[in-house]
Structure 1
């Protein structure tokens, strides 16, 4: 999605930056890790396929992604994504499937995923108001992600036995947007739209 191609969000511990071609090589290295493949339900791709994916993320109006950087070192530590789908009840509103990956083990269990998701969801609520429902699909073996999204007030929707995954949902309400604004202030977050 081109919406965020010149946007950088700086929080307390993380920086969210657009996914550009310079990030692909590191991303490709991450996705060779069998643990990350299992946690993200992903298949390993060739480096050429990863470059194609990066272009797809940039150009597809139904996908939004940021690379997560450690604020102190500005090194890549993961990514956060949104896949837009039509709402079952109304074509006027969208559902947004959220995904996050903290790929660098040294960055896990430090609160960066929580901060990144809150900043990301605030950005989505502000800039994609047609998204009225967030949801996640989490594999049964990924207990840490399940706990993370439950902590973020996502609620159980269903378990899909055939895919061994649980779907959690959270509607976009005034209470949610107010909470996200408060966290934005807590993180002293700033949004910068860089010139092209």
Structure 2
């Protein structure tokens, strides 16, 4: 999505920045790890394909991505624009993503409407650096990310339908019905984050791919618990 093209989210524990081309080489190295491939259900790509993927994600209307980085130093934490070196390769930790798709209820009628009435948001998070796992970082990132999604939900929905309507066409903007996560039943680390620490509720049994579905029932209550972070201007020369 283009929504967060110039947006960073700063907290005392981490910094979220939009996924840019200069992040690709490090991201590409992360995705060579077989354990990460298994946890994210991903296939390895060439470096050229990773660059193409990054550009696709920037312009796609159904994907919103941030790169997780080390927190800003205290001297920069209150600045209006983050420093140029805030997201160098040595400060990259992982990523967090939102995927949007029509609610299954919209497929109950034939043909399915071109603009769904409700949309489901699927979250996933990857802490790629082993040194940053197991310390509660994942849960904090999810809380800040959900806070941003909830605050920007109307803008997110408008961008989601922007490639599905003609210029000037007036349509009803879909509602973000729920947020959910699909986690492999063997991914104990992610299960601890979403199920045990964040309280997302399991819905149904494992699917064909061995994944468990967890749903955030009370998004507004989840967001009001705090941890949103401060939105800071992101620019690169």
**When the two structures are superposed, what TM-score results if normalisation uses the length of structure 1?**
0.90
Distance 1:15 1:108 in 2: 16
Deviation of 1:30 after TM superposition, in Å, equals: 0.3
Change (3 A) 1:95 1:161: closer
Structure 1: unaligned runs, 5 residues or longer: none
**Superimposed CA distance per residue, residues 49-103 of structure 1 (whole angstroms, 9 cap, x where no aligned partner):** 1001101110001000000001158500000000001123463331110000000
**Separation in 2, partners of 1:131, 1:97:** 11
Q: Any conservation in 2 of the 1:132–1:171 contact (CA below 8 Å)?
A: no
Structure with max Cα Rg: 2
Alignment partner, residue 136 of structure 2: 111
- Comparing 138-147 and 157-166, the one that deviates more: 157-166
Measure the CA separation in 1 of the matches of 2:151 and 2:118. Answer: 14
Question: In the alignment, does 2:231 pair up with 1:191?
Answer: yes
Partner of 1:86: 102
Please name the residue that 1:162 is paired with: 208
The runs of 5 or more residues in structure 2 that have no matched partner are: 74-85, 107-115, 155-174
Task: Provide the alpha-carbon RMSD of the alignment.
Answer: 1.8
Counterpart contact for 2:100–2:120, Cα < 8 Å: yes
**Quick check: 150-159 or 66-75, which moved more?**
66-75
Return closer, same or farther for 1:161/1:97 CA change in 2, 3 Å cut-off. Answer: closer
Q: CA deviation at 1:7?
A: 0.1
Structure in which a larger fraction of residues adopt helix: 1
- TM-score of the superposed pair, with normalisation by structure 2: 0.75
Aligned length: 190
